[in-house]
Amino acid sequence: MNLKTKIQHIDAVKPIIVLNLEDAKELGVHPSDRVKISSNGKTAIAIVNTTTKSVNEGEIGVFDEVERELSLKDGDVVSLQIANRPKSLMFIRKKMDGLKLNDTEIRTIVQDIVDDNLSDIETTAFVVSSYMRPYEMDETVSLANAMVDTGETLDFGDNVVDKHCIGGVAGNRTTMLLVPILAAAGLTMPKTSSRAITSASGTADTMEVLSGVSFKPDEIKEIVNKTGGCIVWSGALNLAPADDKIIKVRYPLSLDPKSQLLASIMSKKKSVGSNYLIVDIPVGKGAKIKKWEEGKALAYDFVNVGKNMNIVVKCLITDGNFPIGRGIGPSLEAVDVLLALGNKGPRDLINKALDMAAAGLELAGKTDGRVIAEKILHLGKAKQKMKEIIEAQGGNSGVKLSDIPIGDKTYIVKSERKGSVRRIDNKFINMIARAAGAPKDAGAGIYLHVGGGDNIKIKDPLFTIYSEHERKLDNAIELTNKLKPVRIGGVILEEIG
């Protein structure tokens, strides 16, 4: 069938075309079927949508991906024929039936995801299949390796250390202390980090307050070769691209199959050539993982997957009941980091970063890791190294606290009772900071005046909300009154008589 091109000017991420319903019937295709499009010696496979309105009979609506691949313009004539269904659909069904997949079958699925040969519905089926039928260890390793092999890889030689946090804890910017400490110790730490999804800030969002974070692979190599470390946004790279496509499907469903979680993290670490990996697994009421036993089981899985991928893994099960640091939001977290690099910041943030640095140093064969890390921080070597990294990433190495933009619309939340701080809910704190504008508004967020176990009196300040807009500040105040994220408990449980 020959049809005339009608450019739709829609970026759908996947190759998609739209057919008039009558043409689709004549060709014998239905929505989500695939067609092969040919033009001027080039071919592309695309997923079909149908319409009775926006595309007339004899026309083919072309989305941006197909337009670019075939160099099409309005009015070009293309040839259309039915394409075969991807083999990977058969393997996804096999997993749904409870059967084990081999390495070749898993690699076929991953390649089809990378090549956009699967629709969102079909990729969702892949995610659901591993949720319903958990992968065995060798399947998980195959999935991780396939993700690595279908994307870019970076090579920084030996003694490459990396770190990952399972997430769920507000603040927790240990990465921005860990990288300069380990780099100052002579190790290599090319840290690729994400932006916030549900939190008030991701590491990349906070680092962006101080420097650029979007770089090409060659630029990252130059930065790391010069300084020993970097803190960059992973989204600007093509590391394990299948993982990014799978996450887009997983997130709306709130599905996090363990095999895909492990493969997701380990593939990204393998892609940057990590020899050693520190995994932070926060456990507690406010964290993603609520129970110690669950955290311990996940830690063993990380270690085992690491062994099969030639990465030495050490997991730290940490307290996830409270935020780490005082600032929640990009600029406020950046303030915490700069203070901590001067050994003046929040002690919980400093101590956790030192614990993780000690683990990294000891993984790389150095003894007395905590002593080495403390010395590097106290002598100002980590601060100097961070300046080098900031400058190499295009920032101002002489940045001062007064240079960091903080929202000028503020509201102080005060205690309505006396007692001790029993809980600061990570999820609620993040929700309020996001309502105030974080992370899009870098200066928005929350600054905590209290920590777990602190004794307070009535009208003592609990936290300050910062915003760049009055309307967003009002939204954050309204949410605070509803959620009450700081729980105060008294000593007296009951009075009688």
Task: Mark whether 256 is an active-site residue.
Answer: yes
From first CA to last CA, the distance across the chain in angstroms is 91
Contact 81, 1 (CB under 8 A): yes
* Catalytic pick among 256, 301, 454, 460: 256
Contact 75, 86 (CB under 8 A): no
Q: What is the CA radius of gyration of the chain?
A: 26
The CB-based long-range contact list for 84-91 (8 Å cut-off, 24+ gap) reads 84/34, 85/34, 86/34, 86/112, 86/117, 86/118, 86/122, 87/112, 88/112, 88/113, 88/117, 88/118, 88/126, 89/118, 89/122
Q: Among 464, 460, 462, which Cα is nearest to 477's?
A: 464
The C-alpha atoms of residue 165 and residue 280 are separated, in whole angstroms, by 4
Residues 6+ apart with CB under 8 A from 439: 195, 196, 199, 200, 201, 202, 205, 329, 330
Active site residues: 256
